[in-house]
A and B are shown apart, each in its own frame.
Chain A
Amino acid sequence: MKRWIAFWNILVKDFRTYYLKPPNISWGLIFPLAWTGMFFIRSGRGLESLSSILPGVIALSILFGTTSLLAVTVTFEKKNRSFERLLLAPIPLELLMLAKTSGAILFGVVNAFVPIIMAAFLVDLSQVNWLLFIPAVVLISIASTFLGLFIAVAVSEVFEAQTFSNFFRFPMIFLCGLFFPLSALPFFLKPLAYVLPLTYGADLLHGAIHGGNIMAFPLDLIILALFCIGLFMASLRNIKRRWIV
């Protein structure tokens, strides 16, 4: 019980101090809009192509939203030493890091619905498989949050976290089958796509939104879940090894 009081209050504090700040909220809105607009212009196609762009936009909204915020909530607190305050509290490290990341996960899920709501005004979304869409969005949020955590605990400066996370984020835009099918990738880049978690998340979204998946859903879900567990464990290990020096 006591631990959950701590958990809940860490979450609420992060929401109040970081997530609900106007810059973050507007970032969450502008970002999907900009991406959608850009791909419309590039493709020169009409509204009917929206559903093929939507999965990519949703995945990117989640990825950029969660990783940017995590770099702030974790790296920044490490830098100004308030993270020590959390380490001194009687909470297991696992629960502590879940508290620090649940905010970002929720933020990612909410971000995913921004492009969906915008799209709902423009195209017919009745054929979307929501039973698949929801778990896909949640899993992508978890995986990208934990990827952000992994990056945040691997560096010590906020600006390093930004650089390092861009090193991961931007290649993922092109390598994970978000906007171009994996089959369009040169052969030597294909193996790279399969070691990135977003590939499986994007495949799920393509499947849920317009039935365009290339792998079986259970396989996507399992691999994505394994990425979540692996990244979280690796992050915990890094915190123990690099932060408690």
Chain B
Amino acid sequence: MKTENNIAIKVQGLAKRFGDVQAVAAVDFEVSSGELFGFLGPNGAGKTTTINMLTGLARPDAGTIHLGGIDCTRKPRGAQHLIGVVPDESNLYPELSGYDNLCFCAALYGLSKAERQARAKELLEVFDLTKAAKRKFGGYSKGMKRRLTIAAGIIHRPKILFLDEPTTGIDVASARQLRQLIKELHKNGTTIFLTTHYIDEAERLCDRVAFIMDGRIVKVDNVTNLVEPIRAQHVLQISCADTAKNLTEELAKEFPGLTFTSPQPGLIRVESDAAIYIGALIRSLENHRIDVTEARKVKPSLEDVFVQITGINADIMRKEREKSGVKA
């Protein structure tokens, strides 16, 4: 049951323009309390701008924002006590040590001295930064900076956490550890708004995702709902040494019932509702004097949904642009 009380984030008609760029255009969505919501989109789609408006760092041109029931349109920065933010770039103090940075951030939220110190030590431990605790933040490596920035974002145990590309720029082990931490925060009831480029990451972590492109949400749904329709699909990816030839049309004539696309030169993607038999395909390619280096059956994933949806969108937009071009 959805009541106003268990909606953590509610956004209606949110829009923001920078000069000629419509960074965010009429975005609507809701995130329930305790939900892990993924915000996916290519570079420049408007993810960070959306977070900035939600967290009071940018002023929307239009639309309304409610965080934890607080109307942040009327009271900008009115819900700051509820939220934690991990920005895409670090915003800690380079001249303070890691430990002092955490204590200072905790103090901004009014934690007592004992609490601040205990929490800072705890988080330094969690993020494997205890040894670097006394070193200046400015001298940290990129990944260490990222980890401390994340620690600073959760030091006051926020109810709603905004994570802007948390795993970008950190090594595999730290990224895995971080995902584990996000899962734990989620389990403990924190509402999490996560933006990422890594669609597999979103698929693994999120309850629901929104795809955003050119400042518009093109799809919002449960991850399972999104992937379900294509789960039954069979997908084969064939890599070829020769990248010049594009045989998708000839192959489609030869194998009716299969769909052929070439997402990039040297890669042929075969899709079908029924099982795909590899032998005949490879033989046919070899008859065309194509050197096949690899053929791999892949499980359809959220990424395929993403490509499908955003691809369709790009198509529609192109047509619209052509239409308006004809008029003009």
A contact set with B: CB distance below 8 Å: 1-3, 5-6, 8-10, 13, 17, 80-82, 84-91, 93, 244-245
Contact = CB atoms under 8 A, between A and B. Distances in A.
Interface in B74-107: 76-77, 80-81, 83, 85, 87, 89-96, 104-105, 107
B96 A84 contact: no
B29 interface: no
B56 A244 contact: yes
B91 A84 contact: yes
A6 B81 CA distance: 12
11 contacts: A2-B110, A13-B104, A81-B89, A81-B91, A84-B87, A87-B56, A87-B77, A88-B55, A90-B110, A91-B108, A244-B58
A87 B57 contact: yes
A244 B59 CA distance: 6
A245 B23 CA distance: 13
B96 A13 contact: yes
Nearest to B82: A90
B111 interface: yes
A93 B57 CA distance: 12
B5 interface: no
A89 B109 contact: yes
B89 A9 contact: no
A5 B56 contact: no
B112 interface: yes
A80 B94 contact: yes
B58 A2 contact: no
Interface of B: 55-59, 76-77, 80-81, 83, 85, 87, 89-96, 104-105, 107-112, 152
Nearest to B107: A9
Nearest to A5: B110
A178 to B, nearest CB: 35
Given A85-B152, A90-B80, A90-B109, 15 more contacts: A2-B109, A5-B112, A6-B110, A8-B107, A9-B104, A13-B96, A80-B94, A81-B91, A82-B91, A85-B92, A87-B57, A89-B109, A93-B77, A244-B57, A245-B58
A88 B79 CA distance: 10
User: Does more than half of chain B's interface fall in helix, strand or loop, or is it mixed?
Assistant: loop
User: Does more than half of chain A's interface fall in helix, strand or loop, or is it mixed?
Assistant: helix
Closest 3 CB pairs of A and B: A2-B110, A9-B107, A89-B108
A86 B276 CA distance: 57
Contact of A1 (B94, B109, B110): B110
A9 B108 contact: yes
Contacts of A93: 77
Contacts of B112: 5
B152 to A, nearest CB: 8
A3 B110 contact: yes
B83 A88 contact: yes
A87 to B, nearest CB: 6
B92 A88 contact: no
B88 to A, nearest CB: 10
Contact of B56 (A6, A81, A88): A88
A6 B93 contact: no
Contacts of B92: 82, 85
Nearest to A85: B91
Contacts of A88: 55-57, 80, 83, 85
Contacts of A3: 110
Contacts of B58: 244-245
Q: Tell which of A6, A8, A87, A88 has the most Cβ of chain B within 10 Å.
A: A88
Nearest to B18: A245
A237 B95 CA distance: 29
A89 B158 CA distance: 11
B89 A6 contact: no
A84 B108 contact: no
B210 to A, nearest CB: 23
A99 B166 CA distance: 31
A13 B81 CA distance: 21
Contacts of A2: 109-110
A46 to B, nearest CB: 46
Given A244-B56, A244-B59, A245-B59, A85 B110 contact: no
A2 B113 CA distance: 11
Contact of A5 (B80, B87, B111): B111
A173 B280 CA distance: 90
Nearest to B84: A88
A6 B91 contact: no
B22 to A, nearest CB: 15
A3 to B, nearest CB: 7
Contacts of B91: 80-82, 84-85
Contacts of B94: 80
